[in-house]
Amino acid sequence: MSKEPVEIVGIGNAIVDVLSRTEEEFLSLHQLTKGSMTLIEEEQAESLYQKMGPGTAVSGGSAANTIAAFAAMGGKAGFIGKVSNDQLGKVFRHDICATGVRFDTATLEDGPSTARCLILITPDAQRTMCTFLGACVWLAPSDLDEELIANAGITYLEGYLYDRPHAKQAFMRACEIAHAAGKKVALSLSDAFCVDRHRDEFLDLVQKHVDILFANEDEIKSLYQVKTFEEAVYHVRQHCHIAALTRSEKGSVIVSGEETVEVAAAPVAKVVDTTGAGDMYAAGFLFGLTRDMPLAECGRLASLAAAEVIAHVGARPQTDLAALLQLKKAV
Using CB under 8 A, which of 39, 44, 85, 91 touches a copy of itself? 91
Query: Please, which residue, 99 or 155, has the CB nearer to a copy of itself?
Result: 99
Q: 3-state DSSP helix/strand/coil percent for the chain, to nearest 5?
A: 45, 20, 35
**Contact flag: residue 331 with a copy of itself (CB under 8 A):** no
Min separation Cβ 285 and a copy of itself, Å: 21
**Contact flag: residue 87 with a copy of itself (CB under 8 A):** yes
Alpha helix positions (H), 99-209: 146-151, 165-180, 192-197, 199-208
Please report, as residue ranges, which positions from 107 to 146 form the binding site for a copy of itself (by CB under 8 A): 123
Query: Please, which residue, 140 or 268, has the CB nearer to a copy of itself?
Result: 268
List b or e across 152-180, with b for residues whose CB sees 16 or more CB atoms inside 10 angstroms: bbbbbbbbbbbbbebbbbbbbbbbebbbe
- C-beta of residue 277 within 8 angstroms of C-beta of residue 191: no
Q: Site mask, a copy of itself, residues 31-60, x = CB under 8 A?
A: ------------------xx-xxxxxxxx-
Min separation Cβ 96 and a copy of itself, Å: 8
Candidate segments 93-101, 148-156, 178-186, 275-283, binder of a copy of itself by CB under 8 A:
93-101
Query: Please, which residue, 53 or 111, has the CB nearer to a copy of itself?
Result: 53
Min separation Cβ 238 and a copy of itself, Å: 40
Say how far apart CA 103 and CA 94 lie, in whole Å. 10
Say how far apart CA 264 and CA 262 lie, in whole Å. 7
Query: Please, which residue, 95 or 218, has the CB nearer to a copy of itself?
Result: 95
- What Rg do the C-alpha atoms of the chain give, in angstroms? 18
Q: Quote the DSSP letter at residue 84.
A: B
**Contact flag: residue 314 with a copy of itself (CB under 8 A):** yes
Q: Site mask, a copy of itself, residues 225-264, x = CB under 8 A?
A: ----------------------------------------
The secondary structure of 214-271 as a DSSP string is: EEEHHHHHHHHT-SSHHHHHHHHHHH-SEEEEE-GGG-EEEEETTEEEEEPPPP-S--
Say how far apart CA 235 and CA 80 lie, in whole Å. 31
Interface residues toward a copy of itself, by CB under 8 A: 20-21, 49-50, 52-59, 68, 86-88, 91, 94-96, 98-99, 123, 269, 272, 312-314, 316, 318-320
